[in-house]
Amino acid sequence: MANNDKQLMFTRNIGIMAHIDAGKTTTSERILFYTGLTHKIGETHDGTATMDWMAQEQERGITITSAATTTFWNYLGNRYKINLIDTPGHVDFTVEVERSLRVLDGAVATFCAVGGVEPQSETVWRQADKYNVPRIGYVNKMDRSGANYYEVVRQLKDVLGANPCPIQIPIGAEETFKGVVDLIKMKAIFWHDETMGAEYSVEEIPADLQAEAEEWRDKMLEALAECDDAIMEKYFDDPSTITEEEIMVAIRKGTLAMQINPMTCGSSFKNKGVQTLLDAVCAFLPSPEDTPAIEGTDPSDPDKIITRKPLFEEPLTALAFKIATDPYVGRLCFFRVYAGSINAGSYVLNTRSGKKERISRLFQMHSNKQQPKEVLEAGDICACVGFKDIRTGDTLCSEDKPIVLESMTFPEPVIGIAIEPLTQKDTDKLGMALAKLAEEDPTFRVKTDEDSGQTVISGMGELHLDIILDRLRREFKVECNQGAPQVSYKEAITVPVDHRHVFKKQSGGRGKFADIIFRMEPAEEGKEGLTFVNEVKGGNIPKEFIPSVEKGFKEAMQNGVLAGYALEALKITLIDGSFHPVDSDALSFEMAAKIGYKEAAQKAKPVLLEPIMKLEVVTPEDFMGDIIADLNRRRGQVESMDSRIGARVITAKVPLAEQFGYVTVLRTLSSGRASSSMEFDHYAEVPKNIAREVVEKANGRVDLI
């Protein structure tokens, strides 16, 4: 048993997260190279990166799906097992980051030394906060012109509200970047270019950096004194008595408590700084033992909390966080084992469906290659095949000790396009292919438009849908025509309405009867879906019919009265009603709710809502005027204009409907020198004149606007 505990102590489940182009995949490639998993360094820009294995990733040089791999690193005489997940940076694939962070114990937040904290860096940082993931910072691209380590450290503090604690400072910057000063050991580390950075020498600190190194070491000790009382005492008495071991212990303690974020730097592309980063991962990020015991609920009693410690002898508890399709082994399910162990060929319980699943084979993953395993234990991240029905976010556990872990929340899609297959032969294949893709990706939705019979696919952005169509073509050999992109509008009501609806039908024999009086009003701030309040007294409507009324309203919300778009939120209070002892049944009350909803919603001054995006444009000063004028034309609201190394940053809120093809326009306006990134922010009301056009197009009720 002691051996197992040891094993857990030396396991690290980490992810690499960052903005687009900060160098996540390049860093992952170097990690694989130095740990001896690959013998040739893959490059993103050549399309040879191991972690970017999809054809679409190699062509575009971006990461689309999270790739997992397992590698080993020797640190201080111990062999550490590192389960690494490389996550995408692009906002359209934010779900990949979300589900990876849910199962990871720690993360390496990578920042570009030139760009600093970019919009997507903020998003992933917030996602890591949500799941309480301790992280260390790694400032990459120190060799690029304009690289500024200290500026990035400042931005972390000011923009993200983090507490960065540099444990290294760079020696030289831009083309003179040679190595780093280790502030813990107070030694300089220089990498040798001739051995691809695999070897490095530890030397004394150059004389011109001595004063700076001491200043930053003092800042580091000060930050640690706040996390550790023993250091605080020594810091005030005599800082020189603080030993290396004490510093290491204090950094680890502060990182796990999420009080500090140790900062390292390097240049992955130039093979500098990756080994010290791996050392920092082993030294400061949590093992599965350091994470608090995982909490779940009892499936038979949702209020009862069950905790499971990360031990091998506990009952099996695992969370499926991703489904992928592999051309050779079929459907793969990636999962994290939190407690207990799982054997190949054994049965597990899926608490969502309540069914048993046979796990026929287990694999340890290396990007898209699999290594078969007989048994997997607590703390592992791995994949399995041979299951019937497992979805993202399902809990897998032992049959006699069921548990439900908290699932993940996924953002709603904001953009849709209509697609139609070219030939009849494609029609049959299309349905299957779309079902497979929707199973893999929870932010991708497929629905058939009731009126036109069109298949509409919706996702997180233009790039997301582009990739989906590309995959249909390549993997599933389905050719499609696509329509113009459509925005996912929503509807809302603005005023409360009291309404009574009596539903009666008499056609010989048993009739139908239901009578409901309800109040319909806008939901409270921050609430989504239906808020249903039952205020019926004295059994005027029997208890067994109340769920039917709720169900009726829930279903009716999917179609708004203006143009058939769904309502995001609604509050219904059932006040009173009556029933007939013979003619009333559940269906009658459900119908009464549906028809009553339509009648009441027309009186409740319905409005159209559209997705508003947060846009960030980085541009040289010269083009500012044209870009802002263009944003105003697009109904955009400019919120701030900041300066960043040699450029201006414009932040604005712009409706998505006005943003199609924006990248091309921006290139034209700035002679190709400006760049932009966009992410969903919130839904807001559409101005009346535009709402009229949208409703007309959708053949809706223009008279209600």
pLDDT, position 629: 93
Mean pLDDT, residues 375-393? 85
Distance (Å) of CA 571 to CA 528, 529, 563 = 10, 9, 20
> 431 Cβ partners below 8 Å, 6+ apart?
none
Chain Cα centroid distance, residue 149: 27
CA atoms within 13 A on the CB side of 678: 26
Instruction: Identify which has the larger pLDDT, 61 or 619.
Output: 619
Structure tokens at 270: 């130039």
pLDDT, position 654: 94
Window from 22-31, 307-316, 513-522, 691-700 with minimum mean pLDDT = 22-31
The CA distance from 558 to 397, in Å, is 34
What are the two backbone dihedrals, phi and then psi, of residue 164, each rounded to the nearest 5 degrees? -70, 140
Nearest to 265 by CA among 257, 276, 249, 254: 276
The model's pLDDT over 148-165, given as tens digits with 9 standing for 90+, comes to: 999 999 999 988 889 999
pLDDT, position 1: 38
**Tell me, what DSSP letter sits at residue 660?**
T
Is residue 580 scored above 50 in pLDDT? yes
Mean pLDDT, residues 76-81? 89
pLDDT, position 2: 43
In DSSP terms, which residues pair with 395 in a beta bridge?
319
The CA distance from 635 to 613, in Å, is 12
Residues 254, 259, 265, 269, Cα dihedral to 10°: 100
The model's pLDDT over 229-257, given as tens digits with 9 standing for 90+, comes to: 888 888 888 888 888 898 999 999 999 99
Q: Which H or E run contains 599? A: helix 586-603
pTM given for the model: 0.73
The model's pLDDT over 276-305, given as tens digits with 9 standing for 90+, comes to: 999 999 999 999 888 888 888 988 888 889
Helices (H), 475-581: 546-556
CA atoms within 13 A on the CB side of 166: 27
Q: What is the 3-state secondary structure (H, E, C) of 262-321?
A: EEEECECCCCECHHHHHHHHHHHCCCCCCCCCEEEEECCEEEEEEEECCCCCCCCEEEEE
pLDDT, position 322: 83
Distance (Å) of CA 461 to CA 185, 282, 631, 659 = 47, 37, 19, 11
Estimate the crossing angle of helix 624-633 against helix 662-669, to 10 degrees.
Answer: 150
pLDDT, position 90: 73
Q: What is the 3-state secondary structure (H, E, C) of 187-234?
A: EEEEECHHHCCCCEEEECCCHHHHHHHHHHHHHHHHHHHHHCHHHHHH
